């Protein structure tokens, strides 16, 4: 009797509702729950609105906000995915989580047709962050990178190498400080990784073995030389992205390695600094080798436990489409991953005078090691190399190599 009433109710409501039958995603609901950091500009909300309209009722994306802190985001996602929680359909993943989530089988590989589209129009830097063991595991939503910000009223030509920058900063004197991220946190690993890559090396080999050849010594020298110089901020060992921004805006620094969010901040908060703000490529370690700037951003992963994986992949492709990537950039300052968008008037306006610089920096940037145990790698680097003023070459790099080998032998990656 109850089942008969249920069938009748579904038939009556079928013209207006789609929840009574099974959908093509495999579940009774067409909701696609997107767990992602609580982006403050409204860019994600606008993208969801766009996609829900464009889906024609096939799915409804619902945003589930994650904490602002990346470590807390990861902790929440890992706990839920490890418990095979079906509430997560789509996860906004930091680019360094790809290998861990894929190896644990918490996310699904991108289907072939969608993979072909993504690989055909995505900048190489973001694309590499979504790949693991020959598969594509994430849909690149947004990217990020650092450039060299400098004071055009104090510097005739932006320096091309770290050594040149250090000499120029010392020549300028008291206001010649160089702002970097050298606190004991993820930003410190980002700095070291880009320096190693810029010197022509890598932290890990493609097979996952520890590398750290001579380029790691060169990277350590750059960090140590800056930290011991008069160009270092007295608080260099506690410096993060925002503290570096504030110090640069105060006028005490002439150089800063940082992300593009500093541009609108300076425009609003420090107009005297902003009018003399220049942007240049990330400095080289070796004058004969191209620099490799950091690569950050967000990839979209479809949960292996979702009842609607097909719908989740469709939603992910909509969220990363050109319209929404432009919205993410213009509203939220999140650089696109689609290569062609950097020629668009919207992106040129969002990053006036340095959109092409961002594009090249992202395309040729240095992704951090793709390994399921990235967290262990990063913490070991921080623990061994911090503070940078204490780095001794080659002893400290030898110690780091040994410690990373111990991690490998322990079976953590």
Q: Write the CB contacts of 70 (distance below 8 Å, at least 6 apart in sequence).
A: 37, 94, 186
Distance between CA atoms of residues 263 and 71, nearest Å: 26
Phi then psi for 294, rounded to 5 degrees?
-65, 155
State in Å, rounded, how far the first CA of the chain is from the last one: 57
pLDDT in tens, 171-189: 999 999 999 999 999 999 9
Bond from prior residue into 390 cis (ω within 30 degrees of 0): no
Q: How high is the pLDDT of residue 28?
A: 57
Report, as an integer, the average pLDDT of 339-357.
97
DSSP 321: S
Are 240 and 386 spatial neighbours (Cβ–Cβ below 8 Å)? Answer: no
Strand ranges (E), 210-326: 253-258, 277-280, 295-302
Q: What is the pTM of this model?
A: 0.89
What tens digit of pLDDT does each residue of 220-270 get?
A: 999 999 999 999 999 999 999 999 999 999 999 999 999 999 999 999 999
Tell me the torsion sign for CA atoms 265, 268, 270, 271: positive
Give me the pLDDT at residue 10, please. 37
Q: Over range 283-305, report the average pLDDT.
A: 97
Tell me, what's the pLDDT at 200? 97
If you average pLDDT over residues 288-293, what whole number do you get?
98
Residues linked to residue 37 through DSSP beta bridges, in sequence order: 66
* pLDDT tens column, 110-169: 999 999 999 999 999 999 999 999 999 999 999 999 999 999 999 999 999 999 999 999
**Angstrom distances, CA of residue 315 to CA of 22, 46, 158, 182, 304:** 18, 14, 43, 38, 15
Query: Rounded mean pLDDT of 304-321?
Result: 98
What is the maximum alpha-carbon separation in the chain? Answer: 89
Nearest partner of 367 among 297, 298, 295, judged by Cα:
295
The answer to whether residues 107 and 303 touch, using CB atoms and an 8 Å cutoff, is yes
With cut-offs at 50, 70 and 90, classify the pLDDT of residue 4.
very low
pLDDT band at 23 (very low <50, low <70, confident <90, very high): very low
> Which distant-in-sequence residues (6+ apart) come within 8 Å of 379 by Cβ?
none
Residue 411 has pLDDT above 60, yes or no: no
Mean pLDDT of all residues belonging to the chain: 92
Q: Given a cut of 50, is residue 18 above it in pLDDT? A: no
Q: How confident is the model at residue 408 (pLDDT cuts 50, 70, 90)?
A: confident
Closest of 194, 218, 168, 189 to residue 291, by C-alpha? 194
pLDDT at 16 over 80: no
Alpha carbon distance 312, 303 (integer Å): 9
What is the rounded distance in angstroms from the CA atom of residue 163 to the CA atom of residue 238? 22
Per-residue model confidence as pLDDT tens digits over 380-389: 999 999 999 9
Domains of the chain and CATH, by start: 20-144+296-363 (3.40.190.10), 147-292+373-409 (3.40.190.10)
pLDDT bracket for residue 71 (50, 70, 90)? confident
- Say how far apart CA 298 and CA 130 lie, in whole Å: 9
């Amino acid at each position: 009797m109850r089942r008969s009433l249920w069938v009748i109710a579904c038939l009556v409501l079928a013209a207006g509702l789609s929840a009574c039958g099974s959908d093509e995603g495999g579940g009774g609901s067409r909701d696609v729950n997107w767990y992602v950091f609580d982006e403050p500009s409204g860019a994600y909300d606008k993208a969801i609105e766009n996609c829900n309209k464009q889906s024609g009722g096939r799915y409804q994306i619902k945003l589930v906000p994650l904490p602002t802190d990346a470590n807390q985001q990861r902790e929440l996602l890992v706990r839920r995915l490890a418990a095979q929680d079906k509430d997560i359909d789509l996860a906004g993943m930091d680019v360094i989580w790809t290998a861990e989530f894929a190896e644990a089988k918490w996310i699904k590989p991108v289907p072939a047709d969608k993979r072909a589209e993504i690989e055909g129009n995505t900048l190489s830097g973001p694309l590499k962050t979504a790949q693991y063991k020959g598969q594509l595991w994430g849909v690149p939503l947004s990217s990020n990178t650092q450039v060299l910000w400098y004071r055009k009223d104090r510097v005739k030509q932006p320096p091309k190498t770290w050594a040149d920058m250090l000499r120029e900063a010392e020549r300028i004197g008291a206001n010649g400080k160089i702002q970097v991220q050298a606190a004991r946190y993820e930003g410190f690993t980002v700095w070291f990784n880009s320096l190693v890559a810029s010197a022509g090396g890598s932290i890990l080999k493609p097979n996952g073995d520890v590398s750290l050849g001579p380029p790691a010594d060169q990277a350590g020298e750059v960090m140590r030389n800056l930290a011991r110089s008069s160009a270092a901020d007295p608080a260099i060992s506690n410096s993060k992205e925002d503290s570096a921004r504030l110090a640069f805006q105060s006028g005490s620094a002439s150089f800063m390695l940082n992300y593009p969010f500093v541009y609108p901040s300076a425009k609003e908060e420090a107009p005297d600094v902003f009018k003399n703000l220049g942007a240049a490529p990330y400095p080289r370690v070796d004058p004969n080798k191209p620099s490799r700037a950091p690569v950050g951003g967000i990839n979209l992963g479809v949960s292996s436990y979702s009842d609607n994986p097909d719908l989740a992949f469709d939603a992910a492709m909509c969220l990363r489409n050109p319209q929404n990537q432009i919205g993410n950039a213009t509203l939220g300052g999140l650089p696109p991953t689609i290569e062609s968008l950097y020629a668009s008037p919207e992106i040129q306006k969002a990053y006036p005078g340095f959109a092409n610089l961002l594009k090249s920096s992202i395309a040729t940037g240095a992704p951090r090691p793709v390994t399921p145990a990235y967290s262990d790698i990063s913490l070991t680097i921080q623990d061994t190399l911090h503070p940078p003023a204490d780095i001794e070459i080659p002893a400290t790099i030898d110690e780091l190599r040994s410690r990373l080998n111990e991690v490998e032998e322990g079976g953590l990656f």
